[in-house]
Amino acid sequence: MAYEKSVASTTTTLDPSVIKVLRNTYALLAMTLAFSAIMCGVAMAINAPYMGLWTLLPFFICLWMVEKNKNSSAGLIWVFALTGWMGFTLGPIISFYLATSGTEPVITALGGTALIFLACSGYVLVTRKELSFMGGFLMVGILMAFVAAIANFFLQIQGLALALSCIFLLISSGVIMWQTSAIIHGGERNYISATVTLYVMIYNVFTSLLHLLGMSND
């Protein structure tokens, strides 16, 4: 009986409000990824320098403005400001890997990122897993990894950098699943917040894969 109930719950049609949030989230996510790619191309074209930790200041300002305006149309402007900036800062990183390792790690990282996103979100959409219990663990984990990454920016420990890339890859994949589950089960009804979360995790997955592949080639 319990098994039949579980099967029935996973095959039930999604609520219209859930479908609306999913549709708006994925549509905005696609647009921000495209805009981010354009800004990345601009940075590469003008040979923009890598700015290190200074990239975090505009990031946090835009992130704060997104959160403040997420319930208004102004939130969309700040979403594109945030993702455009992140795309721009990705330009020098990709240029570095193209110059040192060629196109293979970049293309492989792009393909791997798409595969991981589709697998993580697809699994939750199909199984309808309720993953709210993962939220606290994932947030603490990504915060600790972020602090460790800032520390390693100064320490320059290659082994720690490798470990952090693996940790970011795993945690970001988990957050993609958690965020998708939150949309399905009513924990997230703001598509702007959902888009930003998914975008940042996709960015983390891509840069982590790129780092791991670049180190492998070295």
Q: Residue 2 domain-assigned? A: no
Q: Residue 6 domain-assigned? A: no
Q: Residue 32 domain-assigned? A: yes
**Using 50, 70 and 90 to split pLDDT, how confident is the model at 214?**
confident
Q: Residue 1 domain-assigned? A: no
* pLDDT above 50: residue 52: yes
Predicted TM-score (pTM) of the model is 0.90
* pLDDT above 80: residue 82: yes
Q: Which residues of 181-203 are buried (b: 16+ CB within 10 A; e: fewer)?
A: bbbbbeebebbbbbbbbbbbbbb
Q: How many domains does the chain have?
A: 1
* pLDDT above 60: residue 3: no
Average pLDDT over the chain reads 90
Q: Residue 102 domain-assigned? A: yes
Q: Which domain holds residue 147?
A: 14-217
H-type helices in 128-157, by residue range?
135-155
pLDDT, tens only, 119-163: 999 999 999 999 989 988 999 999 999 999 999 989 888 889 999
CA distances from 120 to 94, 116, 134, 155 (A): 25, 6, 14, 33
Residues in the chain: 218
pLDDT more than 70, % of the chain: 93
Q: What is the dihedral of CA 32, 175, 183, 82, to 10 degrees?
A: -30
The least confident of 50-54, 78-82, 109-113, 171-175 is: 50-54
* pLDDT above 50: residue 13: yes
| CA pair distance 82, 33, nearest whole angstrom | 11
